[in-house]
């Protein structure tokens, strides 16, 4: 679901960047009401959680792969405003350092997974949980349904964005300039895997964590419960709560090498060179309703694909020979950046108190 550079036209990228930047602006304004420097540590830990969760690749029908988003539990704990920012932070780190998603398409990826994912998850959870007690089983079910719908809503948006490209952007000969497959292929190709596997994974993660928090730390569920109308309960910022959240991230971090066991690329994330590779072409065709891709990558895709070269592409640092170790070190780097942001915000928050 991470759309690479070259798959969307510059105008499509600009429109989606505009929508995402507007969402970021509104989210920052909303969170200022609860003192942003105190919310940033929570945003950072959920960004780290999303970063790690997205590294667990799942095998999907046809030989492709997909992943959960980790956005649902962030929307349940932080509300949609904090979830948009935390998931966006994870996506920015993935694009900048690891080439997972493009720089030109970063706005699109944030719009799909962070903005759409967060608001669909939050809206469904609030609707289905509807004033249920914090320890109610209905909240667990609501979280699962919200996660499933959020993942598939984000996938549908990506499918539409890719599918409209060949209809709107062609060269003089009529060949697609960017993503080559139309809506009738792009939407089913992306959605089938999310309807059957990736969406279920997001549902299990969200429901499981809500069930856990109901007994371990129910304060984390109060902000969006509709029962205790507190925009950000004071206990959510306690050192104990943050330590528990970081401990959960650390546990997932240790398990990240499992994420490379699923082989194959996600649909629509092929490199330009893959279009000329006989073996890769066969896989692309098999997952695209037996419609062969262009013999060479579309010219617009080739031009835009080289705009940014990530320092550690595909979570595989060049100086590390072991793929599993490289994957683990990449996860540690991403989580470490999120932790540094949290510590920086904590330092800013303490400054005024010490002066006074």
- Top pLDDT among 253 and 354 is at 253
Integer Cα distance of 9 and 18 in angstroms: 14
Q: Tell me the mean pLDDT in the region 15-26.
A: 97
Partners of residue 176 on adjacent β-strands: 170
pLDDT at residue 99, as a whole number = 95
pLDDT at residue 349, as a whole number = 63
Confidence of residue 233 (pLDDT cuts 50, 70, 90): very low
CB distance 302 to 79 below 8 Å: no
For the stretch 72-118, pLDDT in tens is: 999 999 999 999 999 999 999 999 999 999 999 999 999 999 999 99
Q: Tell me the mean pLDDT in the region 228-257.
A: 71
Q: How many CB atoms lie within 10 A of CB 355?
A: 6
Integer Cα distance of 78 and 50 in angstroms: 13
For the stretch 34-87, pLDDT in tens is: 656 678 888 999 999 999 999 998 888 777 888 999 999 999 999 999 999 999
Integer Cα distance of 7 and 178 in angstroms: 5
Q: Which residues contact 195 (CB under 8 A, 6 or more apart)?
A: 152
Kindly tell me the sign of the dihedral angle through the C-alpha atoms of 255, 256, 262, 263. Answer: negative
The domains of the chain, with CATH numbers, are 10-355 (1.10.1760.20)
Partners of residue 65 on adjacent β-strands: 59
Closest CA to 149 of 183, 125, 185: 125
Q: Tell me the mean pLDDT in the region 312-326.
A: 93
Q: Return the structure tokens found at 191.
A: 């959605």
pLDDT at residue 239, as a whole number = 64
Q: Rounded to the nearest 10 degrees, how much is the dihedral formed by the CA atoms of 317, 322, 327, 330?
A: -40
CB distance 93 to 52 below 8 Å: no
pLDDT at residue 35, as a whole number = 57
For the stretch 331-352, pLDDT in tens is: 999 999 999 988 887 776 665 4
Q: Return the structure tokens found at 39.
A: 């919310």
For the stretch 123-175, pLDDT in tens is: 999 999 988 999 999 999 999 999 999 999 999 999 999 999 999 999 999 99
For the stretch 249-304, pLDDT in tens is: 998 899 888 887 776 789 999 999 999 999 899 999 999 999 999 999 999 999 99
Integer Cα distance of 122 and 93 in angstroms: 24
Integer Cα distance of 190 and 156 in angstroms: 7
Full-model pTM: 0.92
Half-sphere exposure of 192 (CA within 13 A, CB side): 17
Confidence of residue 356 (pLDDT cuts 50, 70, 90): very low
Integer Cα distance of 8 and 161 in angstroms: 7
CB distance 176 to 162 below 8 Å: no
Half-sphere exposure of 265 (CA within 13 A, CB side): 19
Which phi and psi angles does 16 have, rounded to 5°?
Answer: -75, -30
Q: Tell me the mean pLDDT in the region 302-329.
A: 94
Integer Cα distance of 190 and 126 in angstroms: 27
pLDDT at residue 312, as a whole number = 95
User: Using N-to-C axis directions, what is the helix angle for 323-355 and 36-53, rounded to 10°?
Assistant: 170
């Amino acid at each position: 679901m991470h759309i690479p550079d070259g798959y969307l036209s510059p105008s499509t990228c600009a429109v989606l960047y505009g929508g995402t930047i507007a969402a970021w602006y509104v989210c920052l304004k909303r969170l200022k009401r609860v003192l942003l420097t105190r919310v940033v540590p929570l945003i950072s830990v959920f960004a780290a959680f999303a970063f790690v969760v997205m590294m667990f690749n799942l095998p999907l029908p046809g030989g492709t792969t997909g992943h959960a988003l980790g956005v649902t539990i962030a929307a349940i704990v932080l509300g949609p405003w904090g979830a948009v920012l935390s998931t966006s932070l994870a996506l920015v780190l993935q694009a900048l350092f690891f080439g997972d998603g493009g720089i030109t398409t970063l706005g699109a990826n944030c719009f799909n997974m962070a903005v759409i994912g967060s608001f669909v998850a939050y809206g469904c959870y609030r609707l289905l949980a509807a004033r249920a007690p914090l320890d109610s089983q209905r909240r667990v079910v609501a979280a699962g349904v919200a996660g499933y719908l959020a993942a598939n809503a984000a996938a549908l948006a990506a499918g539409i964005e890719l599918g409209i490209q060949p209809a709107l952007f062609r060269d003089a000969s009529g060949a697609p300039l960017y993503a080559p497959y139309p809506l009738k292929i792009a939407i089913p190709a992306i959605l089938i895997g999310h309807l059957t596997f990736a969406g279920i994974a997001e549902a299990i993660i969200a429901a499981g964590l809500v069930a856990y928090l109901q007994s371990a730390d129910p304060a984390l569920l109060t902000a969006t419960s509709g029962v205790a109308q507190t925009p950000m309960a004071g206990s959510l910022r306690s050192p104990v709560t943050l330590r528990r959240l970081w401990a959960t991230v650390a546990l997932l971090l240790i398990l990240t090498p499992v994420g490379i066991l699923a082989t194959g690329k996600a649909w629509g994330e092929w490199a330009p060179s893959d279009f000329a590779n006989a073996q890769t072409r066969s896989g692309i065709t098999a997952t695209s309703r037996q419609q062969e891709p262009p013999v060479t990558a579309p010219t617009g895709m080739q031009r835009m694909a080289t705009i940014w070269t990530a320092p550690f592409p595909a979570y595989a640092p060049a100086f590390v020979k072991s793929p599993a170790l490289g994957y683990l070190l990449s996860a540690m780097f991403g989580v470490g950046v999120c932790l540094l942001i949290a510590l920086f915000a904590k330092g800013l928050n303490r400054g005024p108190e010490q002066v006074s």
